[in-house]
């Protein structure tokens, strides 16, 4: 079955870059049927879509984060990655990777999430 | 950006009771592109409903979704102990897809 797994540092200093990778199994990331997404959830709060990438490298980002975010894909490793620059405490959150359909926008498979804390 | 407002914030019910959760959009959600998710503590959200009323794979039929335009509802016909959780709606009819703030269903 489809599985997604986030990995990366759990602690990032203010103004540095947050970097996470999502490893996908059970589904080729090169499938033309899906977008690969990042979503985050600050502690005790709701969900915020960050952005997504298609296997070709085409991306779409939430306008509120667009100036600081970059998502890339490595089809050879069946992985995609998130970079968020100039982080502050407001970026502290559980970060999820998720799959969404190409022709629909709901998220049907999610990783378990990884907590990233921004602190000196 | 479409803003989704969920109500109530918290719903206190007993097992076996019916739960009715509301999701109201600030503008019409095209083509009923509305999904519902369930999230338990320490877990990722789980897709329940898409297209406003279609159940995702493996979701029990006690979960049902309805609505169109700006008003949508998730109904749990008879609450099971495992249904006590936070529920989020999400619209994906216009970019960016946005989530509601959530409704917590707690045991009374």
Q: How far is it, in rounded angstroms, from Cα A37 to Cα A42?
A: 17
CA B87/CA B21 separation, integer angstroms = 8
Chain A closest-CA separation from residue B29 CA (Å): 12
pLDDT surpassing 90 at residue B32: no
| Contact (Cβ atoms closer than 8 angstroms) between residue A71 and residue A52 | yes
Residues A11-61 have pLDDT tens digits of: 999 999 999 999 999 999 998 899 999 999 999 999 999 999 999 999 999
- The count of residues in chain B is 108
CB contacts under 8 A, B 74-103 vs A, are: 88, 90, 92-93, 95-102
pLDDT, tens digit, for every residue of A22-31? Answer: 999 999 999 8
- Residue A75: phi and psi, rounded to 5, are -65, -30
Answer whether residue B31 shows pLDDT above 90.
Answer: no
- Smallest Cα distance from B81 to chain A, Å: 22
Check residue A32 and give its pLDDT.
87
Compute the mean pLDDT over every residue in chain B, rounded to the nearest whole number: 95
B99 burial via Cβ count (<10 Å: 0-12, 13-18, 19+): buried
At residue A104 the predicted structure's pLDDT band, cuts being 50, 70 and 90, is: confident
B36 CB near a chain A CB, below 8 Å?
no
pLDDT at B96 over 90: no
Q: Find the CB nearest A60 among B37, B95, B99.
A: B95
Q: How far is B96 from chain A (nearest CA, A)?
A: 6
Q: Which residues of B touch A113 (CB under 8 A)?
A: 44
Confidence check: pLDDT of A9 > 90: yes
pLDDT band at B30 (very low <50, low <70, confident <90, very high): confident
Over residues B89-93, the mean pLDDT reads 94
Q: Predicted confidence band at B62 (pLDDT cuts at 50, 70, 90)? A: very high
Residues of chain B with Cβ-Cβ distance to A48 below 8 Å are 99
């Amino acid at each position: 079955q489809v599985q997604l797994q986030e990995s990366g540092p759990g602690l990032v200093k203010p103004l540095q870059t947050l970097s996470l990778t999502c490893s996908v199994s059970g589904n080729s990331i090169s499938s033309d049927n899906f977008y690969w997404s990042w979503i985050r959830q600050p502690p005790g709060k709701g969900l915020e879509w960050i952005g997504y990438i298609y296997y070709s490298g085409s991306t779409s980002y939430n306008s509120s984060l667009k100036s600081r975010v970059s998502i890339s894909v490595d089809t050879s490793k069946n992985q995609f990655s998130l970079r968020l620059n100039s982080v502050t405490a407001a970026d502290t959150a559980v970060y999820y990777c998720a799959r969404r359909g190409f022709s629909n926008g709901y998220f049907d498979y999610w990783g378990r999430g990884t907590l990233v804390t921004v602190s000196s | 950006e479409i803003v989704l407002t969920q109500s109530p914030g918290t719903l206190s019910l007993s097992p076996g009771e019916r739960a009715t959760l509301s999701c109201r959009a600030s503008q019409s959600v095209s083509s009923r592109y509305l999904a519902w998710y369930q999230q338990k503590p320490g877990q990722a959200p789980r897709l329940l409903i898409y297209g406003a009323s279609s159940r995702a794979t493996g979701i029990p039929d006690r979960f049902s979704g309805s609505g169109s335009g700006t008003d949508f509802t998730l109904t749990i016909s008879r609450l099971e102990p495992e249904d006590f959780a936070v529920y989020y709606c999400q619209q994906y009819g216009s970019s960016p897809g946005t989530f509601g703030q959530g409704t917590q269903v707690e045991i009374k």
